Structure 1
């Protein structure tokens, strides 16, 4: 059954002290993590030698969570109230993001991530209470800032039994290139392990169906975004992504295949999207190439 925990979102005044909060982390851009992600994406990335450029979004493999086991909440995330505000709503998802890639990170770089909470916005949607948290990340190596990222997180109410689902949006069907993805528990486990993501919706079927009310294991939002840029790399291997923006629209699950799609959208731009097995839009994105 869905969670019965308190779900009313208080005023954002309760978290005003979190706006402007900062955090800085340091890590090494290891080839092992990048090679493991390539295997998860069912591709080979030859030449991952010291100094070689990493594909975009590989910074998500680093700066992984470090909470002790005693600091983990019921959902597998770190308990609320650390760097992120203690929003009481039970469902937390990666809602989207906007990124600019100024130069590549490289294998064996020492990299830093400086993060700042930009805004916290509470609102009521068709599906219940929502709280949006925007975090700005700047990822740098010895050459300076390589990636600037705005990371959008959404906290949601638990589902109400019998409540109508929001009307889905039809996905475009005019793609110029596409790839079918068949997610399974192994793929989702491997990605969770690579990013040290303990969120139980991605690997614990009993939890995700009984507590959070989903029909299957949830495909990670950043994994879908990575698959979209992986599609770009397969189609335009000589191009370099300068900007990328994505928004999660509808969850995808391990019980059905989905399709990542793309088409040109003006000079140097690509429209990208993920389409579920019913033809509905799951993620919308755009990429600007150099």
Structure 2
């Protein structure tokens, strides 16, 4: 079994709260939070994930089913270790209430993160795993059953904003995007893609599933692609073009919403032999996420 240990780090960047709301938020930040989650990387669930990812589903490349005891593909742990709550315990937007800040900060966005891998002790298909977790900024250590050193260390950042604070939907310009590419992968995330990834991760967030909610409540043109799915696709594209590489670290940051039914291209450019800069962009030139991957040179 893999065990993930999460050490929470919190920062309050919201300064326009009423004093009572600010006090409640400070008390929430100071309170201890930990959740132990366990999961198994079964052949069946990995197969479901493979058939969800356009890099692996057999459409553009030959379908290779997962093999027992093979190393877990980089980033695939993102489809595991989700809270398991009844529908009655979810928030109004369909998200889990575990460790969410108090009102009015009820709208959640996946902001980015970092992953590092221990090449000496990879997670493997068929293993079980577990993780104590905490939220907002999470440090997660995933340790395989019977091992002492973590196989994956991950940090995740979420942003929570007030329910009434619907900001500008004008895409943000992203500076520093390279003018050339060394490799790329193009795909169109469909409603089925979003449904399947939501099912795999037990994620009921309406922003991924309910078109009316996305448009009328959140002000987006359509449903949004999951942040972890986009991050996983950056890693998948890297490994598609360098299949024998061993990764050491991956940093990524959400830049603009990635929208369902819009064609997306993931581009990569090598910076020397061991680092690559990655970005996902739609046909209008809007950059949804950027990242940098570093290869293991040991």
TM-score bucket (shorter structure): 0.7 to 0.9
**2:127 equivalent to 1:109:** yes
**2:69 equivalent to 1:22:** no
Deviation at 1:160, TM superposition (A): 6.0
**Contact 2:169-2:219 at 8 Å conserved across structures:** no
**Contact 1:159-1:213 at 8 Å conserved across structures:** no
The one of 214, 232, 237 aligned to 2:238? 232
Aligned to 1:148: 153
**Contact 2:280-2:288 at 8 Å conserved across structures:** yes
Q: How do 1:1-290 residues align onto structure 2 when only pairs under 5 Å count? A: 8=17, 10-11=21-22, 12-18=25-31, 20-42=32-54, 43=56, 46=64, 48-79=66-97, 82-102=98-118, 103-116=121-134, 133-141=136-144, 142-143=146-147, 144-158=149-163, 165=170, 167-169=172-174, 171-290=177-296
What whole-Å deviation, never above 9, does each CA across 1:134-161 have from its counterpart, x for those lacking one?
A: 1111111033311111110111245767
SS in structure 1 at match of 2:78: helix
**Contact 1:183-1:219 at 8 Å conserved across structures:** yes
CA distance in 2, matches of 1:162, 1:113: 34
Structure 2 gaps of 5+ residues are 1-15, 58-62
CA distance in 1, matches of 2:169, 2:115: 34
Instruction: Name the TM-score, length of structure 1 as normaliser.
Output: 0.84
Q: 1:47 to 1:53 in 2, by over 3 A?
A: farther
Q: 1:62 to 1:174 in 2, by over 3 A?
A: same
**Contact 1:55-1:104 at 8 Å conserved across structures:** no
Q: CA RMSD in A?
A: 2.2
Q: 1:114 to 1:210 in 2, by over 3 A?
A: same
Q: What is the count of residue pairs matched by the alignment?
A: 266
**Contact 1:111-1:140 at 8 Å conserved across structures:** yes
SS in structure 2 at match of 1:40: coil
**Contact 2:186-2:264 at 8 Å conserved across structures:** yes
Aligned to 2:9: none
**Contact 2:123-2:151 at 8 Å conserved across structures:** yes
Deviation at 1:17, TM superposition (A): 2.6
Deviation at 1:174, TM superposition (A): 1.4
CA distance in 1, matches of 2:88, 2:243: 44
CA distance in 2, matches of 1:245, 1:163: 26
SS in structure 2 at match of 1:188: helix
Structure 1 gaps of 5+ residues are 1-6, 118-132
